[in-house]
């Protein structure tokens, strides 16, 4: 069978399985499984060998059982990083990539604030400019947020925590694969790995930025999600409890103990959660609460300062 013919056949099979955008997916599957580029496919249109046919068959049967394409390919691109993903780890989403960009901007804002203070001190005291920052990513998963920040700021130290040992194996491997070594991943629930350390050395374990994409879907809404999510992705990375807000209640008040003065807490939120979460920030005494929308116009990212 010729490649172009097979491409159409795969697209039809995917569509029968209820998958959207099947032409694009069929092409991605074919290119990845057979290591072909667009020219190989559309200009040369070679005859497929038996080995290639059976390889494609196995990939397509995984996909028609609604396994996420990213698990089958084994990796995703995230802000210039190549991250391995697979069963047990939440697939990073475009809105989280957007949050990584906002977080990078927030850190750069803190840096310019520090450097202008230091510059004015320099004139009088000749003090040294110290811009190295500490950043914490809670519920780090694949490590996408922690690693984007660590890559952007090689002189910062980034910590990531997660309750799941499986995801930490991915996160650590992703750090290695991308040559990132200013990141430390620790196992535990939210702040747990840092609580003891904070009492030992409060200077070392307070942070300029705490960031998180916690589980935020209401427990009852999980069953309405598409099969790729509800049947394949880790539910403990999605389920935010009865009202979806369990993790915000757990993170927002406590984070202040771990933030430096004027440190920032930035959280991804689910649809229609912005007002309630903003109230939680306010009740805990944060200032400058800002909500930002994602590419679909949904209020998705909320951040605030720990100002005293």
Query: Which is closer to ligand GLN, CB of 57 or CB of 101?
Result: 101
Query: Can you tell me the distance from the alpha carbon of 268 to that of 301, in angstroms, rounded to the nearest whole number?
Result: 5
**Which residue(s) pair with 266 in the sheet?**
211, 303
Query: Which is closer to ligand GLN, CB of 56 or CB of 190?
Result: 190
Query: Can you tell me the distance from the alpha carbon of 284 to that of 278, in angstroms, rounded to the nearest whole number?
Result: 10
CB 139 to ligand GLN: min, Å: 8
SS3 186: strand
CB 238 to ligand GLN: min, Å: 5
Query: Which is closer to ligand GLN, CB of 238 or CB of 304?
Result: 238
Query: Which is closer to ligand GLN, CB of 174 or CB of 213?
Result: 213
Helices (H) and strands (E) in the chain, counts: 12, 9
Are 61 and 19 in contact by the 8 Å Cβ rule? The answer is: no
Query: Which is closer to ligand GLN, CB of 156 or CB of 269?
Result: 269
Interface residue list for ligand GLN (CB under 6 A): 93, 213-217, 229, 238, 268
Cβ atoms < 10 Å from Cβ of 290: 15
Are 118 and 129 in contact by the 8 Å Cβ rule? The answer is: yes
CB 98 to ligand GLN: min, Å: 12
CB 76 to ligand GLN: min, Å: 14
Cβ atoms < 10 Å from Cβ of 176: 9
CB 292 to ligand GLN: min, Å: 15
Sign of CA dihedral 261, 264, 269, 275: positive
């Amino acid at each position: 069978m010729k490649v172009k013919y097979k491409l159409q056949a795969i697209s039809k099979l995917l569509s029968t399985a209820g998958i959207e955008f099947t032409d694009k997916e069929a092409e991605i599957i074919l290119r990845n499984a057979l290591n072909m580029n667009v020219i190989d496919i559309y200009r040369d249109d070679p005859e497929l060998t038996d080995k290639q046919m059976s390889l494609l068959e196995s990939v397509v049967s995984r996909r028609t059982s609604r396994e996420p394409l990213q698990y089958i390919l084994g990796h995703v691109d995230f802000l210039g990083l190549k991250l391995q993903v697979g069963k047990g780890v939440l697939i990073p989403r475009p809105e989280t990539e957007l949050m990584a960009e906002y977080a990078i901007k927030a850190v750069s804002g803190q840096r310019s604030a520090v450097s202008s203070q230091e510059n004015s001190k320099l004139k009088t005291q000749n003090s040294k400019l110290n811009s190295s920052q500490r950043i914490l990513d809670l519920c780090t998963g694949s490590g996408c947020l922690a690693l984007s920040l660590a890559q952007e700021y090689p002189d910062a130290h980034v910590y990531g925590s997660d309750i799941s040992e499986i995801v930490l194996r991915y996160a650590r491997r992703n750090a290695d694969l991308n040559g990132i070594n200013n990141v430390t991943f620790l196992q535990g629930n939210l702040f747990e790995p840092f609580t003891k350390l904070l009492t030992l050395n409060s200077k070392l374990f307070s942070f300029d930025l705490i960031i998180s994409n916690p589980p935020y879907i209401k427990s009852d809404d999980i069953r309405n999600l598409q099969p790729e999510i509800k049947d394949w992705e880790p539910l403990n990375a999605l389920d935010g409890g009865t009202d979806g807000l369990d993790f915000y209640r757990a993170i927002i008040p406590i984070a202040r103990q771990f933030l430096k003065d004027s440190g920032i807490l930035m959280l991804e939120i689910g649809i229609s959660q912005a007002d309630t979460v903003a109230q939680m920030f306010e009740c805990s005494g944060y200032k400058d609460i800002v909500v930002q929308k994602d590419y679909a116009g949904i209020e998705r990212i909320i951040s605030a300062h720990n100002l005293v």
